[in-house]
Amino acid sequence: MSDLERLIQLLAKLPGLGPRSARRAALYLVKRRDSLLAPLAKVLTDAADSIRPCSVCGNLDTRDPCGVCTDPKRDDSVICVVEEVADMWALERTAAFTGRYHVLGGTLSALDGVGPEDLAIPGLLARVRGGPVKEVILATNATVDGQTTAHYIADLLADCGVQVSGLAHGVPMGGELDYLDEGTLSAALKARRPV
Amino acid sequence: MSDLERLIQLLAKLPGLGPRSARRAALYLVKRRDSLLAPLAKVLTDAADSIRPCSVCGNLDTRDPCGVCTDPKRDDSVICVVEEVADMWALERTAAFTGRYHVLGGTLSALDGVGPEDLAIPGLLARVRGGPVKEVILATNATVDGQTTAHYIADLLADCGVQVSGLAHGVPMGGELDYLDEGTLSAALKARRPV
C-alpha cells in the first residue's frame, strides 16, 4: 500500500471524516506540504511523545499533574466529575468553573461490561477522602448511562461528608419550546424558578 | 502554545473539520496513541518526503512519472483532462477509463487572476503534439469556470488533428426529476436518446 493510501486510511478513522472526506483531506495535505503537512507531521510526533493522562484527574496534557491540577488559583474544595476529557474542556471553555476536575473515562455500562473498576472511581474516592473537598459536582451526560453512573457515585459519596450536586436540567439558552423533547420540557417545568 | 493546542489548530485547517470537530479528532488521536496517533505521524512524515506531483500528468504519487503514466496497459491515444487530482481519482474509481490523464491544477478565472500560464496547459499541448494522442476528453467540472476552461483548451487543440470530446450531461443515476435543476433537465432532454 502506498503512503497516500495509508494516509487516507488513517485519516478516515478520525471522527467526522469518512472515506470520501479523508481522501479530500489527504489531497489537501499533500498539496500543502510545507504549510500544513510537515507541521502536522511534526506536531503529531511531538504529541505522541509529550501528551500523557494526568495521574490526578485524568486530563490530557504535556505535564503530569496537568495544568488544571497544578493551577494555584483554582479552588481545591470543589471537584467536577465528567465522563471524558472533551467534557472537561467544554466546561473549561465556559470559564464558569474554577474548581478541580475528575475524568471518569466513560460511564458504567452493564451491556458493554464496564464496571466501577474500569472507571477512575477509586481515584475520585481517594481524592474526596484525602483532601479539602467540600463539594462534588456530578457533570456526567444527561443520558441513561451518564445518570446511572452519577447515581452510583452519589451513593458511594453519601458517607464522605461532602455535598454532592448535579447540573441543572432545563431549556437550553436560545432554545425554542416547540422543538424541545418532552423530557427536557417537563424537567424545566418541574425546576421552575421565581422570576 | 501547547502541542495539543497546536494539533487542534492544524487539524482545524483540514477541509471538513471545523474547530469543534478538530478538538474531537485531536482527543481521539491522543487517546489512541499507539493505534492511530503514532502511525499517522509516521505516514505524514513519510508522505512529506515521498509524495511529489508527476512531471507528466500532475498526479500526486510516490513515483515520478506516476503509476498511471507508467502503466503499460493503459491507452496512450486518449488523454482525459481534469481540473484537480481529486477529479482524476474520482474517474479512476469508476474503472471506466483506461487512457492517460492530464491534471490542469485549476480553472481559468479572470476574477482570481488565473491565466493559461498558471495551469498545466502548455504541458498538455506538448503531450498532444508530441505523442500518439488521438482523442482528448475535457472532463473539467460542469461549472462556469470549468466549461470556460474546456472551451479555451478545445480552441487551442482545434488545429492539432485530435478529436476533442466532453463528458455527457444528463440525469444522474438514481436521480429524481423533481429534485433536478432546470439546467440539467434541459440538457438531458436535448441529449435524449432512442431507447
The tally of domains found in chain A comes to 2
pLDDT band at A182 (very low <50, low <70, confident <90, very high): confident
Amino acid at B105: G
C-alpha cell at A101: 476536575
Q: Residue A24 and residue A20: Cα distance in Å, rounded?
A: 6
The pLDDT tens digits of the residues spanning A96-150 come to: 999 999 999 999 998 889 998 899 999 999 999 988 999 999 999 999 999 999 9
The candidate with the shortest Cα–Cα distance to A76, out of A140, A123, A130, A121, is: A130
Q: Which pLDDT value is given to residue A187? A: 86
Residues B108, B39 within the same domain = no
Residue B64 has what DSSP assignment? S
* pLDDT for B186: 86
Q: Helices B19-31 and A85-94: crossing angle, nearest 10°? A: 140
Give the domain CATH number at B43.
1.10.8.420
Sheet bearing B163-166, strands edge to edge: B99-103, B75-82, B135-138, B163-166
Q: Which residues of A touch B10 (CB under 8 A)?
A: 36, 39-40, 43
Using one digit for the tens of pLDDT, what is the confidence trace for B146-183?
A: 999 999 999 999 988 899 999 988 888 888 888 888 88
Is the same domain home to B109 and B36?
no
Q: What proportions of chain A, in percent to the nearest 5, are helix, strand and coil?
A: 50, 15, 40
Are B46 and B114 members of one domain? Answer: no
User: Is residue B186, in this structure, part of any structural domain at all?
Assistant: yes
CA–CA separation, B165 vs B191, rounded Å? 15
* Same structural domain, B69 and B149: yes
Element (H, E) at B9: helix B3-11
SS3 breakdown of chain B: % helix, strand, coil, rounded to 5? 50, 15, 40
Mean pLDDT of chain A: 91
Give the minimum alpha-carbon distance from A45 to chain B in angstroms, rounded to a whole number: 5
Helix, strand or coil for residue A77?
strand
A90 with A139, same domain: the answer is yes
What is the number of other CB atoms lying within 10 angstroms of the CB of residue B45?
18
Q: What is the pLDDT of residue A193?
A: 81
Nearest by CB to B47, which of A37, A61, A86?
A: A37
Over the stretch B92-147, which tens digit does the pLDDT of each residue have?
A: 988 899 999 999 999 999 888 999 889 999 999 999 998 899 999 999 999 999 99
What is the per-residue pLDDT across B28-85, written as a single tens digit (0 to 9) for each? 998 898 899 999 999 999 998 888 899 999 999 888 899 999 999 999 999 999 999 9
**What does the alpha-carbon distance between residue A58 and residue B19 come to, in Å, rounded to a whole number?**
23
Mean pLDDT of chain B: 91
- Note whether residue B134 is domain-resident: yes
Strand-by-strand arrangement of the A99-103 sheet: A99-103, A75-82, A135-138, A163-166
Q: What is the CATH number of the domain that holds B113?
A: 3.40.1360.10
**B147 plus B70 within the same structural domain:** yes
Tell me what percent of the residues of chain A surpass a pLDDT of 70: 100
Q: Are residues A45 and A117 in the same domain?
A: no
Answer whether residue A29 is part of any domain.
yes
Give residue B49's pLDDT.
Answer: 87
Pick from A43, A63, A68 the residue to mutate for testing the B interface (most B CBs within 10 Å).
A43
Residue in this structure with the C-alpha cell 493503459, named with its chain if needed? B74
- A16: chain B residues, CB-CB within 8 Å: 16-17, 21, 24-25
Which residues in chain B touch residue A27, judged by CB atoms under 8 angstroms apart?
Answer: 60, 84-86, 89
Tell me if A141 is assigned to some domain. yes
Tell whether A90 and A39 lie within a shared domain. no
Beta bridge partners of A135: A78, A163
Same domain, B164 and B118: yes
Q: Is residue A55 part of a domain?
A: no
Checking if the pLDDT of B192 tops 90, the result is: no
Give the cell for residue A112: 458493554
Nearest residue of chain B to residue A4 (CA atoms): B47
Domain match, A45 and A134 both = no
B17 and B109, same domain (yes or no): no
How many contacts does A have with B, using Cβ atoms within 8 A?
Answer: 131
Question: What's the complex ipTM?
Answer: 0.75
Query: Domain limits at B43?
Result: 3-50
User: A20 lies in a domain?
Assistant: yes
Asked whether residue A77 falls in the same domain as residue A159, the answer is yes
User: What does the pLDDT read at residue B171?
Assistant: 87
Chain B residues whose CB is inside 8 A of the A4 CB are 47, 51, 60-62
The residue to which cell 452493564 is assigned = A110
- Number of H-type helices and E-type strands within chain A: 8, 6
In a domain, B22, yes or no: yes
Quick check: is A77 in a domain?
Answer: yes
CA atoms within 13 A on the CB side of A189: 8
Please state whether beta strands A135-138 and A99-103 pair in parallel, antiparallel, or not at all (unpaired).
Answer: unpaired
Higher pLDDT pick, A37 / A131:
A37
CB contact under 8 A, A29 and B14: yes
Nearest to A25 among B16, B39, B89 (CB): B16
pTM, entire model? 0.74
